[in-house]
Amino acid sequence: MIEQLCAMDGRVVMITGASSGIGAAAARLFAEQGAEVVITARREDRLVALAEEIEAKGGRAVAVAGDVRRSEDVERIVDAAVRRYGRLDAAFNNAGRATLGVDLHEMADDDYDTVMDVNVRGVWNCMRHQIRAMLDTGGGAIVNTASVAGLIATGVGAPYVAAKHAVIGLTKAAAASYGERGIRVNALAVGSTLTEMMQSAIDQLPGLEEAFFARAVQKRFAAPVEVARAALWLCSDAASFVTGATVPVDGGTLAV
């Protein structure tokens, strides 16, 4: 298994969007591989329960609630990691917000603002504070959750498509800027994954499941842990020569 090649013993990893879905799966997986995980999201009760679950299984986790849209929150979370562990070695910037397929001309300003703020400003806030901490200790690795919608128009809301294209752009720019200073930055082009958010969308729109599978080679949803494994690999030494990449975890959606 890939986990055996991707040991994270003693490394400090910040994971956003960790209260459910891909982020929670990543927190469990990274901790199983020996990482000290600093988990964050807005839902503090879920974070605390997840941290307690990880520690009960012998892992190490600290929960710090916050909103990635707020620079001061992200700074506080990164500072908490550095104060507790002395450094920040890796980060998985996974917090995101999607929209259903509302036509562009009918979308409200608030919906646009929320999608862009969480997905783009959130990654921007996280990377600038994470990079500062990593530069202090000689480098690190960052993985940003993008989407197949960051490479093609998938039929989801236009702001989400635009936001995930921006995440990939930020990833490439950061990789180019900080590669010589020991920081690798990559993105995941995530396909349809069965998270709480996805289940809610399916419940609201009959037929959505079939639409998501229309382009994919593998006609199923990813489990959150399947995406988390790709993030683990990119954060580990097993991917030491990979930076500036957008790695598909999409069941073949981008292959056809």
* Residue whose C-alpha is closest to residue 197's, from 18, 66, 20, 43: 20
Contact 168, 187 (CB under 8 A): yes
- Half-sphere exposure at residue 152, Cβ-oriented, CA atoms within 13 angstroms: 13
**What's the CA dihedral at 49, 234, 116, 157 to 10 degrees?**
-100
On whether the CB atoms of residues 37 and 15 are closer than 8 A, the answer is yes
Question: What is the rounded CA–CA span in Å between residue 27 and residue 30?
Answer: 5
What one-character-per-residue DSSP string does 147-194 give? -GGGTS--SS-HHHHHHHHHHHHHHHHHHHHHGGGTEEEEEEEE--B-
Q: Which of 85, 112, 160, 178 is catalytic?
A: 160
Residue 160 is among the residues annotated as catalytic for this protein: yes
Cα distance between residue 21 and residue 18, in whole Å: 7
Q: Which of 35, 39, 31 has its CA nearest to residue 9?
A: 35
Residue 167, CA distances (Å) to 125, 150, 236 in order: 12, 7, 21
What lies within 8 Å, CB to CB, of 108 at 6+ separation is none
Catalytic annotation, residues: 160
